[in-house]
Amino acid sequence: QVQLVESGGGFVQFGGSLRLSCAASGFTLSNYGIGWFRQAPGKEREGVSCISRRDDNTYYADSVKERFAISRDNAKNTVYLQMNSLKPEDTAVYFCAKDLHGNSCPWMAPGDFTSWGQGTQVTVSS
């Protein structure tokens, strides 16, 4: 069964750090681009970061550039999102998902991703 499970969320103060994990089962994660998305209350789901399947190119939303870093550990079949210098506006439920088409990372459109995890809550206090 194809499954992605997010973990690592929590409550942090302004300027703090968290590392999210996206563990895959039922498929080889390195064969797919994997994206991180977030959804705040009352807002649409938005792409945060993505790592492509072949060359491990990384992509970031402008709002998180220089603060977030995505990486992949193929041995653990896991993708990480290191989040530094967190701000209250980063508060959201964070999801990971698998690239449906194989070339969706640059645009990070939620409709181009599949096998969504259940999400992990990140709350940043001011």
Question: Identity (one letter) of the amino acid at 23?
Answer: A
Q: Print pLDDT tens along the chain (126 aa).
A: 999 999 999 999 999 999 999 999 999 988 999 999 999 999 999 999 999 987 789 999 999 999 999 999 999 999 999 999 999 999 999 999 999 988 899 999 999 999 999 999 999 999
Going along 8-117, which residue ranges are E strands? 10-13, 18-25, 34-39, 46-51, 58-60, 68-73, 78-83, 92-99, 113-114
